A and B are shown apart, each in its own frame.
Chain A
Amino acid sequence: MNEATRNIWTITKRELGGYFNSPVAYVFIVIFLLLNGFFTFMLGNFFERGEANLNAFFVWHPWLYLFLVPAAGMRLWAEERRIGTLELLLTMPITAWQAILGKFLSCWVFLALALFLTFPVVATVAYLGSPDIGAILSGYFGSLLLAGAYLAITVATSAMTRNQVISFILSVVICFFLILAGWEPVTNLLVRWAPQWLVETVASFSVMPHFTGFQRGVVDIRDTLFFVSVMIFSLFSTSVILRGLRGA
């Protein structure tokens, strides 16, 4: 392991420990699983559909993550700023990038773990029918990318403030925009007066059209790139925010 990866791993480990040393992780996982079950089986009419796929499960993820991902990630920087450990962390012989990546990865790994614990849904559908395993895997892959994109946005908003609540609200608003941008009622509103290219540009920022492909079992490189670029852009913004913080 070279030094950069070791530093990132050290921070990831600490943050993960931070989740599991407090009740936050357990509460989060329980709520995540309960809501997933509720949405899939009650609202999604999983059984009534009579389909051997997980569409009724994945389709809710953009909405579920809208609140749960900001809740999981809001403390990452805000807490450091509030208790002053930011000064400690950034005067260690590491780069700001290593700290940002370490924190991002810790929460992403945590979300992946929560997502992994939804395997009973897969077991159910496999028991009841013969689902397309490829589609399920691509659905999980897309879901993880979606969570990563939301999380990267939360990391950025978390660095903006020392108040976790503000960080939470800001990231929910931004993620909500990313859902709505491609939603028909919103695009219809734009179509009336805006030129076509503007409508398309706004719509292309939406996570929805990029996520649906994964649910159908299509791993499109463009969709993947979309989520990855949201992550890179947000994490880059985080580094700019952190630099601004120290400059002023």
Chain B
Amino acid sequence: MIKVENLVKEFGTKKAVNRVSFTVQKGEILGFLGPNGAGKSTTMRMITGFIPPTEGRVTVGGHDISENPVEAKRLIGYLPESAPCYSDMSVHGFLNFTAELRGINGTKREEAVRRVVGLCSLESVLHQSVDTLSKGFRHRTCLAQSLIHDPEVLILDEPTDGLDPNQKHEVRQLLKRLGQNKAIVFSTHILEEVDACCTRAIIIDHGEVRANGTPAELRAQHDLAGSVTLQVHGTPAETVKSRLGGLMLAQKATASLVDGVVHARVYPRNRAMNGELAKAIAEVTTKEGWQFDELHTEDGRLDEVFRGITRPDTLASKTE
């Protein structure tokens, strides 16, 4: 549904977005991750046709957004970053207006408004003026606007920003439900959200795509994913290192002495076998009579992957 090819956006001499390419199919929910200023919003603005790209192409449902903007925009529902609404209108008036701009008329319009009001739980504020709404309601009003024409493509820039935990949960559930027959792209910097509802995630930094995969794939990119760490007392670091490194399942082991305690880490030969590796290590420690505490398998944490990818001075970039 969405095809982004080699998208570049330059502001003056600064490249805000640099050769970003990806596709999103119907039924996919793509999480767009990245630190602030990474180029997420700029990319979304180019997809929705708000700003033209310096280079590259965006097609939505087969329509090029630069050549055929009106047709492409028809297919898109868009929630801009700060969830702007016309503050001098009532919620009902605002939704009616956006429905009218989308070409929904007559009884269909009333139906459409009723549907999105239900989806976004806006019944209680329907006739209130937008400028009297709390941030959460205003956000949901703008979200409702993006759903009014039941679009095939949804572009949501930080859809859970400013919502309380319950509302965040509701929006995630809503996205999951809608994602079954739409192509959804949403940006966030809350990593749990990626686990909670994305089928795929892209990490973008300094305008470039750094990672693109399912949440599980991304997690596995973590260097430490599947490694086992433990702390041993009263045994020389060298002994621990050579003993653990010699294990069949281990690829290598490291050990260092910190405050009189040996911190050891064992990397698996095969990440799928990390359960067995932990078991093997536990057997070694009992056999050798080491005193140890805190033996656990690293999961490969998404936030670590995120930090590693988006910050140039860490493990992940060194091994790149």
Contacts and interface: CB of A to CB of B under 8 A. Distances in A.
Interface of A: 3, 6-7, 10-11, 14, 17-18, 21-22, 83-85, 87-88, 90-95, 246-248
B176 to A, nearest CB: 24
Contact of A88 (B12, B69, B78): B78
B101 A93 contact: yes
B86 interface: yes
B45 A87 contact: yes
B86 to A, nearest CB: 6
Contact of B74 (A11, A17, A93): A93
Interface of B: 11-12, 45, 48-52, 69-71, 73-74, 76, 78, 80-82, 84-89, 93, 97-98, 100-103, 142, 145
Contact of B70 (A93, A247, A248): A93
16 contacts: A6-B103, A17-B89, A21-B88, A22-B88, A83-B87, A84-B84, A85-B84, A87-B84, A88-B78, A90-B50, A91-B50, A92-B73, A93-B101, A93-B102, A94-B101, A95-B70
A164 to B, nearest CB: 14
A33 B70 CA distance: 42
Contact of B98 (A18, A92, A248): A92
A10 B52 contact: no
A3 B48 CA distance: 21
A91 B88 contact: no
A7 B101 contact: yes
A84 B86 CA distance: 9
Contacts of B86: 14, 18, 83, 85
Among A11, A87, A90, A247, the most chain B Cβ lie within 10 Å of the Cβ of A87
A91 B78 CA distance: 8
A224 B301 CA distance: 71
Contact of B97 (A3, A6, A14): A14
B217 to A, nearest CB: 32
A91 B89 contact: no
Nearest to B73: A93
A119 B100 CA distance: 35
Among B71, B86, B97, the most chain A Cβ lie within 10 Å of the Cβ of B86
